[in-house]
Amino acid sequence: MQEHTQKYDLKLDSKIGLGLFSLLMGLSIFYAIYIDISVGEFWKGGLLVVLLAAFSMVMLSAANVHIRLTEDALVQKRLFISEHSIPFDDIKAIHFGKTYSPTHVLGNDTKISISSHFKAHNDLIDRTLMKTKTTTNFEDINLAGKQEAINKYRS
């Protein structure tokens, strides 16, 4: 039997923003490498090469994050980092965010953020709550954050 999975990626404008930020920072670091090597400071240039490689890995990981909604769990996967999973029956709290914080789901020791930078993030939140309601007693889950969102999902 095949498991039904839905995948939610970052929006294109978020990926473009991360790419432009990476380009700006990467070119600055690359120019610093060029200056250090041209004046004979090879060890500083080498350290900056390591910094540039580490920065590139972090930005690639940030741009390739996605969330999967399976039949029994919410799963977040990043490029170079292992995936984080919260089974729907282990969800303890859902925080609907405030002004500068995104919606996040808390499990036993795992936190998965669902920001507005994901494609169809409202659909992802709705489906997560729908599956949570079918697997657990929804009254036991702590809802916090924006009051209008709490009222919407409590009813």
Domain match, 51 and 104 both:
no
Q: Does the global pTM surpass 0.85?
A: no
Please say if the pLDDT value at position 2 is more than 70: no
For 113-146, the pLDDT digits (tens) are: 888 888 888 888 888 888 888 888 878 888 888 8
Torsion region of 97: left, alpha or beta (phi above 0 gives left; psi -120 to 50 gives alpha):
left
Judgement on whether residues 56 and 100 belong to the same structural domain of the protein: no
Q: What is the mean pLDDT of residues 93-106?
A: 83
Same domain (yes/no): 25, 94: no
| 41 falls within a domain | yes
Identify which of 4-13, 44-53, 61-70, 103-112 has the greatest average pLDDT. 44-53
pLDDT band at 39 (very low <50, low <70, confident <90, very high): very high
- Please indicate, yes or no, whether residues 10 and 83 belong to a single structural domain of this protein: no
Integer angstrom CA distances of residue 119 from 3, 24, 136, 139: 22, 25, 27, 28
Q: How many domains does the chain have?
A: 2
Max avg pLDDT among 24-38, 59-73, 106-120, 139-153 = 24-38
Residue 1: per-residue pLDDT: 40
22 and 95 assigned to the same domain: no
Q: Per the domain annotation, does 1 fall within a domain?
A: no
Q: What's residue 133's pLDDT?
A: 82
What residue numbers bound the domain in which 12 lies?
6-63
* Whether residue 125 is found in the same domain as residue 55: no
Is 143 within a domain? Answer: yes
Q: Which of 41, 63, 85 is the last residue of a domain?
A: 63
Determine, yes or no, domain membership for 68. no
Instruction: Note the pLDDT of residue 155.
Output: 67
Beta carbons within 8 Å of 39's beta carbon, 6+ residues apart: none
**Is 15 in the same domain as 83?**
no
Last residue of a domain, one of 40, 63, 86: 63
